Structure 1
Amino acid sequence: MPATNPSAMDTAHCIGRFAHAEPERVLRTQTGDVVGAIWSHPPTQTQVKGLDHHALALHLSGCTLVEKWCDGRSSGHRSRVGSISLVPAARTTDWVIDGHCRVAHAYVHPAALADAAERLGRPWPSEGLADFFADEDPQLQRLLRWLFHEAMEDALDPFALEQWQALLFAHLVRRDDRAFAKGADAVDTRRIALTSATLRRLFSHIEEHLSGGLSLRTLAETAHLSPDHFLRAFKLAVGETPHQYVLGRRMVHAQEWLVRTDMAVIDIAQQCGFRGASHFSAAFRRQFGLTPTDWRQQRRR
């Protein structure tokens, strides 16, 4: 079950009702699915319960005098900027915030985590994701910051989201069981290497579908691996994640269209799999420091 089903918006509304606040910004994919929200919380004391999704809360700035109680037991009394806390689904948590603070939420459906655990061969406990508060987890922080950045830039396409979900779910499943993670890593290294023939099939499939229709699941099936194992195998073989590789290939094709044709930028964007001219221009500028139009004019001069 994807983490961005429609009830993610219900989760944001529910948190807003409990916190007596409106989100500063709702974070969405290019197709409109809700993946999270940015919140500026005033001092408050509230109880949160009955959420459909877990909320992974990254403390961005402001007051760190935050208390959390889960099912009547203290989880902690001091947050830190950059730390991550869980607002759990289907459990009751009480929060005391002694001053203004700013946080970012990413919403994750519990069923998606259970599915990821099954794919990784780990029995998932009936109580679900273990509670945590103010954790210092660099990998989880990087994953969340990447999601928030892409969503804020309106650059979160379905393929990128699918890859992010696979990485996030695998990390959340493994993070509570380091012994399991070490054993799984050892097995994966031996079993998930991609052959040259498989890489050729993957590259061919990507080239044929750069204008749209790329799916992490389809690429994984081409390699006869689960999405989680495929991500690690591809990075090991290519040196980039599938999304990075696809974006690079789209940029190469875009440069060729810009130089060799007089097609409008919006048409080139669609040919290369971007949602629109603004999405294409933002991605192009991040990569080359110029808009597509300016880059084209500079090359032609």
Structure 2
Amino acid sequence: MPALAHFQVFNTLSHSRATLERSAQVAEGMALAVWSNAHDATGYSTPGHHTIGCYLDGGLGTFRRDQPGHKGAPDKLCILPAEHQSAWVVNGELRFIHLYFDVEQFALGAVRLLDREPRETQLHERTFIDEPLQTARFRALSQLDWDEPAERLLCSSLACAILDHSLLSHSGRRQDLQVKGGLAAHQRKDLLDYIEQHLDQPLSIDALAQRVALSPYHFARMFQLSIGLAPHRYVLTRRLQRAAHLLQHSHLALGEIALSCGFASASHFSNRFRQAFGATPGLYRQALAH
């Protein structure tokens, strides 16, 4: 079973008539796949992840069963949120690229880009829309060599840009949700600002809990409820994201970046970075720094 099979849409296509041309995990919680299909019918039922797709070739006879008059075409985009349901008919030939990203990546984007609790935020479902900038990114992704380390890092950068654009352009507040529990808005803002200002220092659950006058256990539960990630996971991710930014936009030595982002040693930093980005910090800088 392919390594991406935990993405339900990928798994569903793997068991359909569709042919997988290639696939790769391009960052933690994000993966790409190029498919071709013809004369098929398939459907997705409440996947636990988000999918953004772009038609590369064909698709003129492809439609959703609930929208039979709305047909696909090259360069058309589809946004399929987690928990959505859709049924598709493929008449003729079709070639397309999918970007899969898990709910943790969506949660991080909601907090980072929108300053909003992820549970209050939804990604809007869209079918066959025109967005030239997003299409250009998908086209660029389809032409890169996903097995070549440097180009794989460019894939990661483009995939993140697609996700950020979708969050900013196609998400909004849930209208049907009564938000209960979790951290108050001012507590969330204070904590996240504090974390950002102290990423170079040890950040214990006890210390963070004290800032909002909660027990460590209760704080961890409230943080997870509000942010969508456990506190230690959020802190590690923000450290890695800051490190990636410094690698691309500064000339600091790797050891300095490690310390400024709260890693105990350069080797610990390198191991964590490689796990998240699929490359060492040095290779990442070489590929993306300008």
TM-score (norm 2): 0.53
Map of 2:287 onto structure 1: 247
Say which SS state the counterpart of residue 105 (structure 2) adopts.
Answer: helix
1:36 aligns with 2:32: yes
d(CA) in 2 for partners of 1:119, 1:136: 26
Matched to 1:82, the amino acid is D
d(CA) in 2 for partners of 1:247, 1:167: 16
- 1:261-294 residue CA offsets vs partner (Å, 9 max, x unmatched): xxxxxxxxxxxxxxxxxxxxxxxxxxxxxxxxxx
Change (3 A) 1:34 1:111: closer
CA contact under 8 A between 2:41 and 2:88: conserved in structure 1? yes
Map of 2:277 onto structure 1: none
- CA deviation after TM superposition for structure 1 residue 59, in Å: 0.7
CA contact under 8 A between 2:56 and 2:75: conserved in structure 1? yes
Map of 1:115 onto structure 2: 108
2:167 to 124, 149, 173: 173
Map of 2:250 onto structure 1: 203
1:129 to 118, 123, 126: 123
1:79 to 72, 76, 79: 72
Matched to 2:22, the amino acid is R
Runs of 4+ in structure 1 deviating by more than 6 angstroms, as ranges, are 31-34, 212-215
Matched to 1:120, the amino acid is L
Matched to 1:163, the amino acid is S
d(CA) in 1 for partners of 2:110, 2:143: 27
- CA deviation after TM superposition for structure 1 residue 13, in Å: 2.1
Map of 1:277 onto structure 2: none
Once superposed, what is the RMSD of the aligned Cα atoms? 4.3
d(CA) in 1 for partners of 2:249, 2:54: 35
Change (3 A) 1:244 1:127: closer
- CA deviation after TM superposition for structure 1 residue 83, in Å: 1.1
Map of 1:295 onto structure 2: none
Higher relative strand content: 2
Map of 2:53 onto structure 1: 57
d(CA) in 2 for partners of 1:129, 1:142: 21
- 1:171-207 residue CA offsets vs partner (Å, 9 max, x unmatched): 11111379xxxxxxxxxxxxxxxxxxxx9x95332xx
Change (3 A) 1:150 1:114: same
Matched to 1:137, the amino acid is E
Q: How does 1:120-269 map to 2 (within 5 A)?
A: 120-123=113-116, 124=118, 126=120, 128-152=122-146, 154-155=148-149, 160=154, 162-176=156-170, 203-205=250-252, 208-209=253-254, 246-247=286-287
- 1:27-71 residue CA offsets vs partner (Å, 9 max, x unmatched): 344x998722111111112222142322222111124122125xx
Matched to 1:203, the amino acid is S
CA contact under 8 A between 2:41 and 2:87: conserved in structure 1? yes
2:22 to 22, 25, 30: 25
1:48 to 38, 44, 50: 44
d(CA) in 1 for partners of 2:13, 2:39: 15
Change (3 A) 1:48 1:132: same
Say which SS state the counterpart of residue 57 (structure 2) adopts.
Answer: strand
List alignment gaps of at least 5 residues for structure 1.
179-198, 219-242, 251-301
d(CA) in 2 for partners of 1:158, 1:246: 12
d(CA) in 2 for partners of 1:171, 1:61: 23
- CA deviation after TM superposition for structure 1 residue 146, in Å: 2.9
Map of 1:271 onto structure 2: none
Say which SS state the counterpart of residue 144 (structure 2) adopts.
Answer: helix
d(CA) in 1 for partners of 2:249, 2:121: 38
- CA deviation after TM superposition for structure 1 residue 165, in Å: 4.4
- CA deviation after TM superposition for structure 1 residue 107, in Å: 1.0
List alignment gaps of at least 5 residues for structure 2.
173-245, 262-282
- CA deviation after TM superposition for structure 1 residue 115, in Å: 1.8
- CA deviation after TM superposition for structure 1 residue 94, in Å: 0.7
d(CA) in 1 for partners of 2:22, 2:63: 24
CA contact under 8 A between 2:9 and 2:44: conserved in structure 1? no
